[in-house]
Amino acid sequence: MNLHVESEGEGEPVLFLHGVSGSAATYRWLVPEGFRAVRLTFRGHGASARAPGTYRLADYAEDAVSVLEEIGPAAVVGHSLGGVVAWTVAQQRPELVTQLFMEDPPLFMGEPDEHAQNPAIPHFHEQQAAVRTWQAAGTSEAQIEADLAAEYGTVQTPEALASRAYALRHLDPEVLDRVLDGSTLAATDTRSPVSVPTLVVGADVAPAFPPAHEARLAATHPDVPVVRIAGAPHTIHDTAAVRDQYVAQLLAFLT
């Protein structure tokens, strides 16, 4: 599998895993001092190879493991899908993960009942239609960025809009097919132990990890703390008003 991986900085490695329909570019602004930031783009996303038929949790976990086997044990930071991938790798290959930092992970959204009630599904339908339209028309990244800016305004940072435009321009649309049919996260194991130090940073507005899921996690993993950032939407690290709080939580956890 030809995967796009970026590395920047010096020190202990931290592997950053993006959310579905994103890319490594979403983290280019973030290089924690004293650490080496390693950014993976999952298969079917960005500059990584497309691999139709392999856009499910086990496949993305395989991508992450392949990088961790190269860079050695590392802290893993994951947003949304990336958080669930990080959780899965920590369960299955704990020797490769030293710390686990999850940003609003949809840990329980792979369950059929939860998927059916997932409030983000209409958004993914809209995103799927937009991606197909943009790609069929050969729409430029600049125009996609302008369309996103019209939707999000100044809520997201300028670099977040640019990285999102790039990611949607290069996304394999089948990635979203698997999100919509519920198969992407269907294999998520929410009960097996995670033995490494873990922190969940949750959104406050339209979260993928709502309070009801937080309560379920506490019942099976009481040692996993959850911090919610007031006013934060699902894309915490991309949101201008709360980015500093996200960084503070990450740095405190890593150090």
Amino acid of residue 31: V
Looking at residues 189-200, what average pLDDT do you find? 97
Residue 174 contacts residue 55 (beta carbons within 8 Å): yes
pLDDT recorded at residue 57: 98
Q: pLDDT higher for 1 or 218?
A: 218
User: Residue 4 pLDDT > 90, yes or no?
Assistant: yes
Looking at residues 75-102, what average pLDDT do you find? 98
d(CA 8, CA 24): 12
For the chain, the average pLDDT equals 97
Among 141, 196, 228, residue whose Cα is nearest residue 15? 196
- Here the tokens at position 123 are 């958004």
| Terminal Cα distance for the chain, rounded | 33
User: Residue 153 pLDDT > 90, yes or no?
Assistant: no
User: Residue 1 pLDDT > 90, yes or no?
Assistant: no
User: Residue 9 pLDDT > 90, yes or no?
Assistant: yes
Q: What is the pLDDT of residues 154-168, one digit of tens each?
A: 899 999 999 999 999
Looking at residues 81-108, what average pLDDT do you find? 98
User: Residue 67 pLDDT > 90, yes or no?
Assistant: yes
Residue 40 contacts residue 64 (beta carbons within 8 Å): yes
d(CA 231, CA 233): 7
Amino acid of residue 2: N
Helix (H, G, I), strand (E, B) or coil at 12: strand
User: Residue 28 pLDDT > 90, yes or no?
Assistant: yes
- Here the tokens at position 244 are 């500093």
Q: Residues 104, 42, 232, CA angle at the centre, nearest 5°?
A: 20
Question: Dmax of the chain from CA atoms?
Answer: 50
What percent of the chain has a predicted confidence (pLDDT) above 90?
Answer: 98
Give the strand pairing for 4-8 and 35-41. antiparallel
d(CA 224, CA 214): 10
Residues 6+ apart with CB under 8 A from 112: 182, 186
Instruction: Please name each of the domains of the chain with its CATH number.
Output: 4-254 (3.40.50.1820)
Looking at residues 210-215, what average pLDDT do you find? 98
How far does Cα 220 stand from its chain's mean position? 23
Q: How many CB atoms lie within 10 A of CB 2?
A: 9
Residue 223 contacts residue 250 (beta carbons within 8 Å): no
Q: CA torsion angle for 125, 101, 250, 239 (degrees, to 10)? A: 10
Read off φ and ψ for residue 180, nearest 5 degrees.
-70, -30
Looking at residues 11-38, what average pLDDT do you find? 97
Q: What is the pLDDT of residues 114-144, one digit of tens each?
A: 999 999 999 999 999 999 999 999 999 999 9
Helix (H, G, I), strand (E, B) or coil at 59: helix
Residue 110 contacts residue 118 (beta carbons within 8 Å): no
Q: How many CB atoms lie within 10 A of CB 203?
A: 23
Report pTM.
0.97
Q: Residues 182, 184, 188, CA angle at the centre, nearest 5°?
A: 100
